[in-house]
Amino acid sequence: MNIHHHPNEALLFDYSAGALGEAWSLAIATHLALCPACRRTVAEMETLGGGLLESVAPETVDDGALDAVFACLEQSPIIVETPIPRPVQQDDDGIPGLPQPLRGYIGGDLDTVPWRRLGLGAYQSVIPTQETDASVRLLRIPAGRPVPEHTHGGLELTLVLAGAFSDSTGRYGRGDLQEADETLEHQPHAADGEDCICLAVTDAPLRFKSLAARMVQPLLGI
């Protein structure tokens, strides 16, 4: 498997630092499961981050600091927030089907995905997460068919899991990740021979050029 399109270094750094939300982390972790090169990059970033923490000199603390903290706690209620889980990648680059951690979110492999029809032979399956600012879904586009031409209202990460697609920015096969924003107007076209299955994460609805696509968009939630 030859992967040619990778996440930018800022996304990999934020993932390594635990600064990405669950939805974006799921896309990056799934890419990492398929991409040894990016796994090495993230490992180097984590090592560098650990080294920086160890090099920080300890600060002296005033003798009354602990009493001040306890006094604040007595005056204010303690609110415990449930942390959003950070999906962690596993090495699945030699295993066909859905890699981890995505398989854990689905509860199985491709044969267990609950597909919902979008029309024109395409299907989607929404993947629930605890994050409210981004949506995660699997998309299945029939071999040889295009997606309606569109741009984006925000950021979209699209990770190919099976088959391939092409657009004005190049060809994307298994393991390739495309980053798209409002500056990209494109019409992805699934390659012949195999349905294209992608993991897509978005933080805003797509902006379709076709009136027909815009009319049904509220029903599809894309």
Q: What is the pLDDT of residue 79?
A: 45
Q: What is the pLDDT of residue 218?
A: 66
pLDDT at 83: 46
Contact 30, 199 (CB under 8 A): yes
- Tokens representing 151 are 């741009």
Q: Which SS3 state, helix, strand or coil, does residue 188 take?
A: coil
Domain extent listing, the chain: 1-59+100-222
Give the pLDDT score at 80.
40
Phi first, then psi, for residue 162 (nearest 5°) are -155, 150
DSSP string across 38-70: HHHHHHHHHHHHHHHHHHSPPPP--TTHHHHHH
Distance CA 157, CA 84 (A): 19
Distance (Å, rounded) from C-alpha 35 to C-alpha 172? 14
Q: What is the mean pLDDT of each run of 10 residues along the chain (222 residues)?
A: 93 94 96 95 85 55 63 56 56 76 93 89 93 95 93 95 96 97 95 97 87 68 69
Q: Determine the pLDDT at residue 82.
A: 42
Fold (CATH) for 1-59+100-222: Jelly Rolls (2.60.120)
pLDDT, residue 171, reads 98
Note if the pTM is more than 0.85. no
